[in-house]
């Protein structure tokens, strides 16, 4: 069975009646009748298998990236290239990328909001680390054309609540991503990556690093059901965490 068929059979059953289920039904080109009963919630159903989580991630990624790309009123060539790069970095197979691009094209002009898609994604993905990694993808897309539009910034400010990640994630991430290549700013970026302030004590900084390293190690996340499409991204993040800790450690002499 092909990727589209797998995604349809599982996702329409999982999110039937929700924006993501409706989008997938349209994207695949199959008409379905009015759904019976209400939309189920995570507490009322069996959790997704690793393969099904990967399908959910593929579709959700395409839908939310589409909304972010369209936030400033149009989708630029740079943003399209950034989306293609995001799919490639996530390890999508050629079939998965073609499918995701089809969902992207439909989602960018549909009547749902990015927050509705984010709610579906958060419902389906237990791991907060997966949701945090996806939030970083949205930042990458927003910065693809060299600046973050005010409307894109407004979305990024609201998305931690929609994705159910730390409410201060926006402030830390904005501070880190706003840094240039200067030495002091690079150090500020390192602190933002670790999620602590520059005034934090050595013990607090060390604990922050250890906690992040434990939570974001690719092997740990894989054991928790992280979709294989995210492993490459998790490896990149682990590298950034280690580099941030190195810079902070060297600056403090610890």
SS3 44: helix
Query: What is the percent of the chain where pLDDT is above 70?
Result: 69
Model confidence band, residue 220 (pLDDT cutoffs 50, 70, 90): confident
Record the tokens describing residue 46, joined without a space. Answer: 């069996």
Name the DSSP letter for residue 39.
P
Nearest to 21 by CA among 50, 51, 59, 48: 59
pLDDT of residue 182: 40
| Contact by Cβ (8 Å): 90, 230 | yes
Record the tokens describing residue 101, joined without a space. Answer: 């691009």
Is the confidence at residue 146, as pLDDT, over 80? no
Q: Which residue spans of the chain are classified as CATH 1.10.3680.10? A: 1-177
pLDDT of residue 130: 80
SS3 249: helix
Token pair 């609201």 is found at 158
pLDDT of residue 239: 92
pTM: 0.67
| Contact by Cβ (8 Å): 58, 229 | yes
Q: State the CATH class of domain 1-177.
A: mainly alpha
If 0-12 CB within 10 Å is exposed, 13-18 middle and 19+ buried, where does residue 119 land? middle
The lowest-confidence range among 4-8, 104-108, 112-116, 248-252 is 4-8
Is the confidence at residue 48, as pLDDT, over 70? no
Segment 188-213 mean pLDDT: 91
Distance of alpha carbon 193 from alpha carbon 214, whole angstroms: 15
Distance of alpha carbon 17 from alpha carbon 167, whole angstroms: 29
Record the tokens describing residue 236, joined without a space. Answer: 């990149």
Q: Which residue spans of the chain are classified as CATH 1.10.287? A: 179-254
Segment 80-105 mean pLDDT: 76
What CATH architecture is 179-254? Answer: Orthogonal Bundle (1.10)
């Amino acid at each position: 069975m092909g990727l589209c068929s797998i995604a349809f059979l599982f996702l329409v059953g999982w999110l039937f009646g929700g924006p993501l289920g409706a989008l997938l039904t349209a994207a695949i080109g199959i008409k379905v009748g009015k759904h019976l009963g209400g939309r189920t919630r995570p507490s009322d159903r069996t959790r997704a298998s690793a393969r099904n989580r990967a399908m959910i991630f593929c579709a959700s990624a395409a839908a939310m990236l589409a909304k972010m790309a369209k936030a400033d009123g149009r989708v630029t060539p740079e943003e399209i290239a950034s989306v293609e790069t995001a799919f490639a970095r996530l390890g999508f197979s050629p079939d998965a990328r073609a499918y995701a691009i089809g969902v992207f094209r439909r989602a960018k002009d549909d009547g749902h909001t990015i927050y509705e898609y984010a709610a579906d994604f958060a419902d389906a993905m237990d791991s907060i680390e997966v949701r945090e990694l996806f939030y970083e993808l949205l930042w990458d897309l927003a910065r693809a054309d060299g600046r973050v539009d005010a409307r894109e910034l407004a979305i990024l400010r609201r998305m931690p609540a929609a994705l159910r990640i730390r409410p201060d994630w926006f402030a830390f991430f904005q501070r880190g991503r706003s840094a240039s290549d200067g030495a002091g700013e690079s150090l500020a970026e390192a602190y933002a990556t670790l999620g602590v302030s520059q005034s934090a004590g050595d013990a607090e900084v060390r604990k922050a690093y250890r906690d992040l390293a434990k939570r974001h190690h690719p092997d740990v996340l894989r054991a928790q059901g992280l979709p294989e499409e995210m492993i490459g991204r998790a490896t990149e993040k682990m590298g950034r965490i280690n580099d941030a800790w190195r810079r902070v450690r060297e600056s403090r002499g610890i």
